[in-house]
Amino acid sequence: MVKDFEQLLSESSKRMKKSAIRELLKLTNKPGLISFAGGLPSPLTFPTEQLKEISCEVLENDGPSALQYSTTEGDSDLRKILAERYAAQGLKITQDNLVIVTSSQQALDLIPKVLIDRGDKIIVGLPSYLGGLQSFHNYGAKMIGVKHDKYGMNSEKLEEELKLLHDIGEKPKFVYIIPDFQNPAGVTMPEWRRIEIIEICKKYDVLIVEDSPYRELRFEGEPQKTIYQLADDGRVLLLGTFSKVFVPGFRIGWVIGHPVVIDRIVMAKQSTDLCTSSFVQKIAARYIEKGYFDKNLQNIISLYKEKKDVMMKAFEDYLPEGVTWTNPEGGLFLFVTLPEWMDAEELFLTAVENNVAFVIGKVFHCDDSGKNTMRINFSYASKEEIVEGVKRLGKAIKDMMDKK
C-alpha cells in the first residue's frame, strides 16, 4: 500500500480544481427540481431518426475507414466542408488552417498546452467561461481579468492592462474572448468593439483566442463578423464545435488558425488521443452534405428563441425589483445580477430548497468577484418548467431580501 499518494502527484495535477459547476450540480439531483444550471442543449433538437439513417449509410459505404483510426488533423471530408462553410462567411482559410478536436473543450486544453509556460500571463473576461479558466489554471497561467460592459470585454480596460504589462517588460500570451452570446453573460460584441480589441492586440503584439461555440444560434439582431475574419493577420485562433448546434455526444470541435500553430496543436493532440472518432466525423460530414444540418439548425433556433422569450416574460413577472438580467440575441445563457449585498452562493442553497437551481456567477470570475451574480440556462427546461422555475427563483430571492 502506498503510504502517501500526495507525494506522487505532479505539481500540475496539484493545481487542478474540480469543476465548481459539476460539484454544485450534485446538489440538484433531486426529484421535482427544475434546473437552469447546466449548459445542456434540448434533447428535442437531437435528430435521432436522421442519424440512424446516416449511420447505416456510413457503415455500408465507408465501414472499414469509419471504424479505423483517423488522421490526427481530422477526416478530410469534414475538414473540407468546414473550411468551405467558413470561407462562405468571408474567412480566408483552407484545410491547412483547421484541425478537428474532441470537443472544443479539448481545444481549450491543447491551446495552453502549446502556448503557456507556468507563470505566463493571459487576459480573460470578467466573467468568462469556467472550462477555459480551469484549463488555463491547470497549465499554470496567471489570469488577468478585464471587466465587461454591455458590449463585452471593455477595450479601454484591456488596453490599460496591456500597457501596465508593457511598461514592466511583459506581455500576455493571449487574450481569451467569447464574442457571440458569451458564456456566461449572454452578451454579443459588436463589430466596432471587435475592431477596437484587434487594433489594441496588434499594438501590443498579442494573440487572440476566439471561442465561438454558439455563433450559429442567433435568434435576433445582425450577425457579426468573426474576430478571425476582421483581424486577417494570423493572430487569432478560432474555436468551433457541434455540441450546441448538432449533438453534444459526438464531441466534435475544431480549431482554425495559422498553420504554424495548428501544426503544434496537431502534435499536442497526437500524444493526447491520437485522433477524434472517425465514425462520428464521417456521420457529421454526411449529415451536412445531405442538408440536414442547416434545416435542423433553424428548428433549434426557433425553439430556443421561444424559450428565451418565455424566460424574459417570466423574469418581468416574478423577479423582484433590484434584480437585473441580460437579454441575449442567441446562445443558451443569460446572466442575472442581484443587489450588491446579496450572495448568490447563499441564495443557491435556498433556491435548491425551493426546487430550482442555477450556477453561481463567482465561478466565472478569475479574481473571485461576481458574488452577486448567477448564470441561467434556458435551452434545456421546457417552457412550462421555465415559468415555474422562475417563480420559484423569484420566491427564493424575495425570501432572502425579507431576511435582510
**DSSP per position, 243-299:** TTTS-GGG-EEEEE--HHHHHHHHHHHHTTTSS--HHHHHHHHHHHHTTHHHHHHHH
Residue whose C-alpha cell reads 424566460 in the numeric block: 311
Q: What are phi and psi of 313, to 5 degrees?
A: -65, -40
Residue owning grid cell 463578423 = 225
The pLDDT value recorded for residue 310 is 98
Contact 112, 133 (CB under 8 A): no
Nearest CA to 200 out of 137, 239, 238, 146 is that of 146
Q: What is the pLDDT of residue 9?
A: 73
Q: Are 230 and 191 in contact (CB under 8 A)?
A: yes
* Amino acid letter for position 211: D
pLDDT for 19: 65
Q: Break the chain into its structural domains and give their ranges.
A: 8-47+294-402, 48-292
Distance of CA 403 to the CA centre of its chain: 36
Q: CB within 8 A of 175, min separation 6: which ones?
A: 122, 123, 124, 153, 158, 197, 201, 206, 207, 208, 209
User: Is domain 48-292 classified as CATH 3.40.640.10?
Assistant: yes
Distances (CA, A) of 314 to 40, 50, 309, 344, 378: 20, 35, 9, 20, 12
The pLDDT score that the predictor gives to residue 20 is 61
Residue 392 grid cell? 420559484
pLDDT by 10-residue block (mean), the chain, 404 residues: 73 71 64 92 97 98 96 97 96 95 97 97 98 96 97 98 98 98 97 98 98 96 97 96 96 97 97 97 98 97 98 98 97 98 96 95 96 98 98 97 86
Q: Which is the CATH superfamily of the domain at 8-47+294-402?
A: Aspartate Aminotransferase, domain 1 (3.90.1150.10)
